[in-house]
Structures are given as C-alpha cells and as structure tokens.
Amino acid sequence: MEIVTIIFVVSGLFFFFAASIGLLRFPDFYARMHATGKGDTLGALLVVVGLAIYTLFEGGFELESILTSIKIIFIAVFIFLANPTATHAIFKAGLDSGVVPWTKEGAR
C-alpha cells in the first residue's frame, strides 16, 4: 500500500512542479493563472489523497485512523471548491482593472 501512496504523492509533486515552471514561463497574467490555479488543485488533491490512504492503512483501519482519513479528504474537497472560485475571482479582477490579455498576434 505504501507504493500507492508514493505514486499519489510523487504525481502530485509532479503537477506542482509543472505549475511552478508554468508560472515562470507563461507570457502574461492570465496564462499564469492557468498554471497556478489548476495545477495546484490537482497537485494538492493527489498529495492529500495519498496521505489519506497512508493514514488509513498505517492505522490498520482503526476508528481513529478512519476518522483522520475522512478529515484529510474534507481538506481535499474544500480545496476543490475554493481553488476554482478564487481563480475565477482573481481572473475577473484582472479583466475589470483592464489588464490586456497576451495574444499570439499581438506578440508578432
């Protein structure tokens, strides 16, 4: 079961890594929102699910470890709800304050 945890956490870290690289490389504010807003959501989700599985099996399905796992899953659910909403809010604030989106044609 540790292997499953390792797979989850490592793939989560991969998405975090890709999101950070994307944050540095994408051309403008809006494109960077794509990298951080969503790469982070999936990354955090995978890491947290991996930890929940680890707690569940390490605790040997005792009541206490099951409760801890449920709490960890709740963290994942709330990240899942809050992150897109926050991304949308920041994005809309950018549009409203008149940041011009980068386009391919504009770059040439």
Which one, 35 or 51, has the nearer CB to another protein?
A: 35
Backbone dihedral angles phi then psi of residue 92, each to the nearest 5 degrees? -65, -35
Q: Which residues bind another protein (CB under 8 A)?
A: 14-15, 18-19, 21-22, 25-28, 30-31, 33-35, 37-39, 41-42, 63-64, 67, 70-71, 80, 84-85, 87-88, 91-92, 95, 101-104, 107
Joined together, the tokens standing for residue 76 give 């994942």
Shortest distance, CB of residue 71 to another protein, whole angstroms?
7
The total of other beta-carbon atoms located within 10 Å of residue 81's CB is 10
The values of phi and psi at residue 103, to 5°, are -125, 165
